[in-house]
Amino acid sequence: MKLAGRMSRLGTETAFEVLARARALEAKGRNIVHLEIGEPDFDTPAHVIEAAVAALHSGYTHYSPSPGIPELRDSIARNAGAKRGLTFSADQVVVTPGGKPIMFFVLLALAEEGDEVIYPNPGFPIYGSMIDFVGATAVPVPLREENQFRLDVVELGALISPRTRLIIINSPQNPTGGVLSRSDVQRIAELAVEHDLVVLSDEIYCDILYEGEHVSIAEFPGMAERTIILDGFSKAYAMTGWRMGYGIMPTSLVPSIARLVTNSVSCTATFIQRAGIVALDGPQDDVRSMVEEFRRRRQVIVDGLNAIPRVRCAMPSGAFYVFPYVGDVGLDCRTFADYLLNEAGVATLAGTSFGKYGEGYLRLSYANSVENLQKALERIDSAVRRLT
Ligand code: PLP
């Protein structure tokens, strides 16, 4: 079948491919430690599950309005506002099946041929994929280890042209765990105002932060009318498979994004939206204890990687990923990731799965038990020693 030309511009997320290859090896009897997947290994909090079941029994089995049920939009506005020290209204919120569709819809709504969109590289692969897909030009801003994987604001400024329409930022960041400082975010905001740019601020990991504060770009002068915050339930509430996220945006943009929801998925599952209210308004102990457990694992994996010859790993400040430098092991990072999967039984992702500036690195998710992390570290250590 002849595909539309635009399909050649659509990328993907390698994590799903590596997971499939790892599963195929497991089907042949191999033992694999999974460090490729970007999702918490915890169960969704029990009271959230109960709320969804109760909602199903109470008849929340019909369509909802495309931007979401009013009670959830209200709860998101209150909770997301309180967390950021800002005031949002329910009519700024659009609920979607996962946070990912917000990227898709915002780029469809705002970027077109001739526009340039600046995005972090290494970064979440869907940014570049969607920028290309809508026909805009993807302009990567490199993230470097020597700058703690924070973008360099001077470099960002130099990439802005008269064609720049949008900047995508992501803090805490996937894949590096880097976190932008208050002054970084403030200076990005100043650039956005000066050049009349829109900012898509992917804050999906804002609850998974080990040091410092989460700074939302929406809080700076002139940003309320040009920021779209992307956030959701997948990471903080261990709800990846439920598919629910949201965007918070200027009210003028809401009808367009809601129309894209109507044209694609109609709405987010109604009983899941009911559970979302309980997740946000209910006790937050599970979120806190999950983050504390991630903090413990972060130490285990960073210490373990730094003890392996020719591997170096910076301490990430947020999310649940490490991005160790493996450029001295003697293989390019994709070959090394394949080697670890096939020869050592450890599934990881090559840094280049997140863009060209990821060469020399691997992404490991530490959303796995300490026991499995230790097993993976031992396997990586002996695999690296075998390379000499
Ligand atoms: N943004 C980033 C940076 C992510 O890493 C992810 C998921 O891995 C998402 C957004 C989307 O998450 P979801 O669609 O599950 O809400």
| pLDDT(207) > 80 | yes
* C-alpha of residue 245 to centroid of ligand 1, in Å: 9
User: In the prediction, which pLDDT does 129 show?
Assistant: 97
Task: Name the burial class of residue 276, with classes exposed (0-12), middle (13-18) and buried (19+) by CB atoms within 10 angstroms of its CB.
Answer: buried
User: In the prediction, which pLDDT does 388 show?
Assistant: 75
User: In the prediction, which pLDDT does 310 show?
Assistant: 96
Mean pLDDT, all residues of the chain? 97
Cα–Cα distance, 325 to 123 (Å, whole number):
16
* Cβ atoms < 10 Å from Cβ of 308: 20
User: In the prediction, which pLDDT does 334 show?
Assistant: 96
Q: What is the chain's Cα-based Rg?
A: 21
> Which residues are 360's β-sheet partners?
none
Confidence tier at 110 by pLDDT (50, 70, 90): very high
DSSP state, residue 58: T
Q: Which two tokens stand for residue 150?
A: 């924070």
DSSP 170-222: ESS-TTT-----HHHHHHHHHHHHHTT-EEEEE-TTTT-BSSS----GGGSTT
| pLDDT(93) > 80 | yes
Place of tokens 């799903």: 16
What is the per-residue pLDDT across 123-147, written as a single tens digit (0 to 9) for each? 999 999 999 999 999 999 999 999 9
User: In the prediction, which pLDDT does 101 show?
Assistant: 98
Q: Is 231 in the pocket of ligand 1 (CB under 6 A)?
A: no
| pLDDT(15) > 90 | no
Q: Is 174 in the pocket of ligand 1 (CB under 6 A)?
A: yes
Q: Which two tokens stand for residue 30?
A: 């191999």
| pLDDT(100) > 90 | yes
Confidence tier at 13 by pLDDT (50, 70, 90): confident
What is the per-residue pLDDT across 225-255, written as a single tens digit (0 to 9) for each? 999 999 999 999 999 999 999 999 999 999 9
* C-alpha of residue 205 to centroid of ligand 1, in Å: 8
Cα–Cα distance, 248 to 200 (Å, whole number):
10
Percent of the chain residues topping a pLDDT of 70: 100
Q: Is 317 in the pocket of ligand 1 (CB under 6 A)?
A: no
Residues in the chain: 388
Confidence tier at 119 by pLDDT (50, 70, 90): very high
* C-alpha of residue 326 to centroid of ligand 1, in Å: 25
Residue in 267, 263, 169 with CA at minimum distance from that of residue 220: 169
Cα–Cα distance, 365 to 381 (Å, whole number):
17
Q: Is 98 in the pocket of ligand 1 (CB under 6 A)?
A: yes
What average pLDDT does this structure show over 46-70? 98
| pLDDT(359) > 90 | yes
> Which residues are 33's β-sheet partners?
346
| Residue 152 DSSP SS3 | coil
Cα dihedral: 335, 341, 347, 349 (round 10): 10
What is the per-residue pLDDT across 70-79, written as a single tens digit (0 to 9) for each? 999 999 999 9
Place of tokens 């204890």: 289
In this structure, the strands spanning 198-202 and 321-322 are: unpaired
| pLDDT(290) > 80 | yes
Q: Pick the range with the lowest mean pLDDT from 11-25, 97-111, 332-346.
A: 11-25
* Sign of the CA dihedral with 308 first, then 309, 315, and 316 last: negative
Q: Is 245 in the pocket of ligand 1 (CB under 6 A)?
A: yes
Reported in sequence order, the residue ranges of the chain that DSSP labels E, i.e. its strands, are: 33-34, 93-96, 116-121, 137-142, 164-170, 198-202, 227-232, 245-248, 321-322, 346-347, 349-350, 362-365
Mutate to test the pocket of ligand 1, among 37, 121, 173, 174 (most ligand atoms within 8 A of CB): 174
What average pLDDT does this structure show over 207-229? 97
Cα–Cα distance, 8 to 133 (Å, whole number):
8
| pLDDT(14) > 90 | no
Phi and psi dihedrals of 231, rounded to 5? -150, 180
What average pLDDT does this structure show over 160-175? 98
**Residue 102, H or E segment:** helix 100-110
What average pLDDT does this structure show over 105-133? 97
Confidence tier at 297 by pLDDT (50, 70, 90): very high
What average pLDDT does this structure show over 203-207? 98
Atom of ligand 1 lying closest to residue 99 CA:
16
